[in-house]
Every structure is written in C-alpha cells, then in structure tokens.
Chain A
Amino acid sequence: MIKAISLEFFKLRRKKIFLMITLFLGCEILWAFMSVSISLSRNPNSPVWESTLTTIASMNGLFLPIICAIVSSRICDMENKGNTWKLLISSNLNRKFIYAAKYICSGTLLLYGVVLQAFAITIFTITKSSTVIIPLSLIMRFIGSTMLASMVILALQQWITLAVKNQAFALCFGMIGGFLGIVSDFFPETVRRTVIWSYYTGLCPVKYYFTNGSLELIQQNLGLGMLTAVFLLIIIFYIAGSHHFSRQEI
C-alpha cells in the first residue's frame, strides 16, 4: 500500500500540482483577506480570528470543490492518457490499492492547501491584531472540518473521475459543486445538510448567528450526529467508487 502511495507522488513529478494549489488558494486567500480587512475597518470591534475563519470557510465552498475536481482529475486522468491502467493492473497491483492510493494522495494534496490556509490566516490575523493569542484549537478544528468536507467531496469526485473518462464532465461537476457551495448558505439548514459542498461552512468551528436583526459570530461544537453523518458519507462514496472501479473492465 505504501508502495502504491509513494508511486502516486512519484507520478506527480512535473505536474506542478503543488504550484497550482498554491496559486489557486493564494487568490482565494488574498480575496478573503481583502474582504476581512474592509469589514474590520468598518467594524473595528469584530473578532479578527472568527471573522477571518468564517470568510475563508465560506469562500472554500467555492474554491475547494474546484480544487478537489482538478486534483482528482489530474491524478486519475494521467492513467487514461497514457493507457497505464492495464500496465498497473497487469503488474500485480491490486485495484483497491490503486484506488486507495489515489484517494490518499489527493487528500494529502488538499491537506497541504488547508494547512497553507491556516498558516496564512495565522499570519494575517497576527498582523491585524498583535495582542490576540493564537487560538490553536480553533485553527486545528478549522483544519479538521475543512479536511472532512474535502474528503467527502474527494470521495465523490474520484468516483466520478474514474467512472466517466471525459474529464470535462468531472470538472464541470466540480464547478457546479463550487457554485452550490457558495450559494448554499442562503438555503435553509435542512436543505443545506443535503448539499455536501456546503459542509465547509456547516462544519466550520465558527458560524454567523442572527440575533435581534444583527449578525454575531459564535463558536460551534460539532455534534456527534453530524460528524457520524459526514464519516458515513465518506465511507459510502469511497466504497461505492472503489467497488465500481474494481469491477470495470480495461
């Protein structure tokens, strides 16, 4: 299994995938920080950490589904392009291992992006408010929740990427997901829970709360039920995708 994972990273040479993630998320981070800076200049009493985290989480709903689609597509499509499925499978590599290795590799790349975000948030917030102590647990929860949401999307995205050879479909699917991710905050909570791309804000440790006609930022603890549901979704999408891939004829 470790061999399969290390091979996935080896195959990413010259793909410039880290650069792509860095640039893509760099744009998002800059956009979010500009937005937070404007907001802070209008409301100097707003909590800096909380507002930065919620802004990034909200924008992740747009950006990360697209990144998930691109990462998944680039990792899986190189096998289609080079006709290498038959090479891997006839070289005694278990299909389930290949599927798992690709999923773990995509997840690791996403983790790099999310850690990059957390690092940027920390630096930005310190520059905005040097007296504030770094809330490490909040940042860790932000990383965890963003990764959880990403792993659900990646599991679904990888299944689609491998099921439909035309990558335009998988990428469009990712973009539609991104669109749903950004607009889902306007939906009622019950609807929002069925839209997996909305989980970036849904699972975020800080959320907006409407009270007396004004917006407040409050910290939320995720219930066991919600976490179980998310893990179940990951397992369902992953197993369905892996099973489908294992039965495909090459």
Chain B
Amino acid sequence: MNTIVSTYNLSKYFNGICRVNEVNLTVYEGDIYGFLGPNGAGKSTTLKMLLGLIKPTKGNMVIFSKNFNKNRQLILSQTGSLIESPSYYEHLTGLENMRILQRLRNVSNKKVQEALHIVRLEKQQNKLVKHYSLGMKQRLGIAMALINFPKLLILDEPTNGLDPNGIREIRELIKSLPQRYGITVLISTHLLSEIEQIATSVGIINDGNLLFQGSMEQLKAKNKAYISIKTQDNNLAKKILLTEGYKFKQNNDRLIFEDLTDSHIAYLNKLFIGQSIDVIRIEEHRKSLEDIFLELTGKERSL
C-alpha cells in the first residue's frame, strides 16, 4: 500500500510549551484516517503543519513520497483542506466563493458544479454566504476543499455545528470519497462515535503524543472480552480456582477471568455447584472503544 502522509518526529513548541511531540503519522492511500484526541490534544496543530500553515519546530513531513519543504507547491496543489471552521467571504455568494477557489486551483466550471452538487448546495449557490446556516457554511467549506478533487483531503472536525442529519450526510459523503474519487481522507475529531463509523485507520493523540496508530481492526482487537463470576462464597471459590490452576483477579465481589473459553466457563460452573457454591452471576464484559480511548488518553480527561 502506498504511503500518502508520513511524518517523522514532528514536533511543535509554542513559547517553550510542547504541543506536538515527535509524532510519526502514517496515512496510506485510500485510507480514511481518523485522527482522534480530546480538545487541545494537538490535532489541529499537526494538521496545520501538514498544510504549511505553521512551521514545525522539529521533524520532517513526507507527503505523496515528497519532502514537504522542498515540494510545498506541488503537494498543496493536490491537497484539499478544511481546518477548524470553514473559510468564506460572507459578502459573496456561495458560487462566488467557489469561483475564488476555482481561480486559485485552475479548475473547470464542471468541477465547481460537481463539488456544489456533492454537498447539495446547487440551489443555494447564488445566496450570500452571510445568509447561510452554519451547516450550509460547513458544506460550502467541504465543497471548497473538494473543488479540485484532490488526492488528499484533510478535514479538521468537519461535523462541528451540524445537526444529526447533517452529520450523517457528511459521514456518508466522506465514506464514499475513497471509492468514488480515489481520495485519501485524513479527518480529525474528538468524537469517537464518528471515527468508529467511518475510519479505516486510527491515530490517537493526547497531550501532543501519538498514543496509538493502526487499523480500526487493531484498535478493536484491544476490545477483548472478559468474564466475571459472582458466587455465594467467593473465598471458597478462590481456593478451588487456585487448586485448579486458573488465573483470575478479584474486583469487589466478582472474580474476573481473561481468555476464558465457553467450555471452561461451563466446567467452572459445574465445579462450583459440585462444591455447593451457589453461582449468582456469570457475565461477559466487553470494553467499548470509548473505554479503550479513555484508557489510552487518561480517564480523568473528558472528551
């Protein structure tokens, strides 16, 4: 698989404070890479560095297999972006805003109309942007990012301010981009549910450090099930388990088992009953992605 974005020890300090610390990001062609982290984790700073809006304090960036500093123009000409909030000239119409991008990107009228069609703004294109709703402004921002159907699309919190229906629409749109247009998407958000539904790869950042990077499957693999058993007499149950050679932990009044197969569960149940220990509960627990995320980023932090 071709690598579209690679960063090497990418770091950024503001007034001596580290905002992004030696981040090694890898985005593959055709990926929808979810860049996840709490507010203030360093997502936007990283994305801004990828777009040349701020200079890294340290590290290198390679995009489309080319060094960013040496091939800035070429890279930016093939990259679309929507960073933080949408950019627009509110005294101009939606179409006039698109015309500005059209001139900057040297694209045809057909592509302008296609981008407006994708975000369903064709009927509103002649309305002044100051009369647009927040959702329409956000959609215009995405249309502007898509205008030249770039190889790489960088979206920073694209569903901010959208209603549930708008969020669903944008989600479906983003999901369709790699297949329909061959666009690789790098999307940042603090909403885990969003990433869960659209991303094929994930990077989790917190306090400027990249804590996890891999495929969605790899992240979900962390989502191991465990079994908890509650008995009438946990002390006796523990003795029996130790003589039988089972590994377990005690959590309050529950005995916790990892990697326990169905046959082992049935065996343990029989064993306890045979020793006249009443089994009150046998439960399977699964960590949600949110639990994994909170584990990685520190539970005390809110999303």
Contacts and interface: CB of A to CB of B under 8 A. Distances in A.
Contacts, number: 73
A92 interface: yes
Interface string B88-102: 111110001001110
Interface stretch (B34-42, B74-82, B113-121, B234-242): B74-82
B83 A13 contact: no
B144 A86 contact: no
A128 interface: no
Contacts of B275: none
Interface string A60-72: 0000000000000
B105 interface: yes
B76 A13 contact: no
B250 interface: no
A7 B91 CA distance: 14
A249 B89 contact: no
A95 to B, nearest CB: 10
Nearest to A87: B87
B85 A83 contact: yes
B104 A78 contact: no
B51 interface: yes
B280 interface: no
B101 A91 contact: yes
B83 A86 contact: yes
Interface residues of B, number: 30
Contacts of B91: 13-15, 78
B225 interface: no
A92 B99 contact: no
Interface in A1-35: 3, 6-7, 10-11, 13-15
B86 interface: yes
Interface string B207-230: 000000000000000000000000
Nearest to B53: A250
Interface of A is mostly: helix
A92 B55 CA distance: 15
Given A14-B92, A78-B91, A82-B89, A92 B104 contact: yes
Contact of B79 (A6, A83, A90): A90
Contacts of B96: 10, 13
Nearest to B45: A249
Contacts of A10: 96, 99-100, 103
Contacts of A90: 51-53, 76, 79, 81, 83
Contacts of A250: 48, 53-54
A88 interface: yes
Interface string A86-101: 1111111100000000
B73 interface: yes
A89 B92 contact: no
Interface string A219-250: 00000000000000000000000000000011
A92 B89 contact: no
Most B Cβ at <10 Å: residue of A6, A14, A93: A14
Contacts of B53: 86, 89-90, 249-250
B224 to A, nearest CB: 41
Interface in A78-122: 78, 81-93
Contacts of A78: 89, 91
Nearest to A3: B103
Contacts of A7: 100, 103-104
Interface of A: 3, 6-7, 10-11, 13-15, 78, 81-93, 249-250
Given A3-B103, A13-B96, A15-B91, 6 more contacts: A7-B103, A81-B90, A86-B51, A91-B105, A92-B72, A250-B54
A-B residue pairs, 7 tightest by C-beta: A87-B87, A92-B76, A249-B54, A90-B51, A91-B104, A84-B87, A250-B53
5 contacts: A3-B103, A7-B100, A86-B53, A89-B51, A92-B73
